[in-house]
């Protein structure tokens, strides 16, 4: 009886560095094959086993700036001395095919997307505590103390933007956090404003007409 809009949902997942966005995204992709993860570009160096074209498209700062000039990004931002950006070429294509697209991006970038795409779904991933966030950043072992403290300071600023999001999920337990994010995505699919049409088939129309006639016949009409 209900026909939903065919266009996919743009899902923006962000939060402070170290909050577990990437872990949650990977779990969501395994659970939901209808999700497509947009791969961001960055000018930072790869960490650990990160692969170009899988985790990020790794560019030099000069290459990134050239793409900015060519308007290749849906959004971009400079974070902790490095560029991060969302290439826009594939996103609209997937959305028009009815495929949900998930963006795992920094808060700066998320707010820029919100200015352009009002009906996107914005989910903020919150660490259980600032102490735990600092511990996670230190346990990465990929940055020196000065860079870690800079990320920590940025995290305080980002948390102040939480009111601009639709939902917040505290990542104190990864499995539970994934369950919550998946439930949010499912609930958004049921929103009334995603309904394109409500219709009845011929059999349902006959039942409707029959019930309307019965109701009319049972009315005591006096003049």
Q: pLDDT by residue (tens digit) across 165-175?
A: 999 999 999 99
CB atoms within 10 A of CB 141: 8
Summarize the confidence of residues 153-158 as an average pLDDT.
89
What's the pLDDT tens digit per position in 45-72? 998 889 998 889 999 999 999 999 999 9
CA distances from 116 to 64, 113, 162, 182, 195 (A): 21, 5, 18, 24, 22
Q: What band does 102 get if pLDDT is binned at 50, 70 and 90?
A: very high
Per the listing, tokens 């259980």 go with 128
Residue 134 has pLDDT above 50, yes or no: yes
Domains of the chain listed by start with CATH number: 2-38+98-217 (3.40.50.300)
């Amino acid at each position: 009886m209900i026909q939903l809009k065919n266009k996919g949902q743009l899902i923006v997942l962000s939060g402070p560095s170290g909050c577990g966005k990437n872990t949650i995204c990977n779990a969501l992709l395994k659970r939901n094959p209808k999700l497509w993860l947009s791969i961001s570009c960055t000018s930072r160096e790869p960490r650990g086993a990160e692969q170009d074209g899988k985790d990020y498209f790794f560019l030099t700062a000069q290459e990134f700036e050239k793409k900015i000039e060519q308007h290749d990004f849906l959004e971009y931002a400079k974070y902790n001395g490095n560029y991060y950006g969302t290439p826009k070429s594939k996103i609209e294509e997937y959305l028009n095919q009815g495929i949900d697209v998930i963006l795992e991006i920094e808060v700066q970038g998320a707010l820029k997307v919100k200015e352009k795409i009002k009906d996107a779904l914005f989910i903020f991933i919150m660490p259980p505590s600032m102490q735990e966030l600092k511990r996670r950043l230190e346990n990465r072992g990929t940055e020196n103390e000065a860079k870690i403290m800079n990320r920590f300071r940025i995290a305080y600023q980002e948390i102040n933007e939480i009111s601009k999001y639709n939902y917040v999920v505290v990542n104190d337990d990864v499995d539970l956090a994934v369950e919550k994010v998946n439930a949010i995505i499912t609930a958004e699919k049921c929103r009334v404003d995603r309904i394109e049409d409500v219709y009845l088939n011929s059999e349902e129309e006959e039942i409707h007409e029959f019930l309307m006639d019965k109701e009319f016949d049972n009315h005591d009409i006096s003049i």
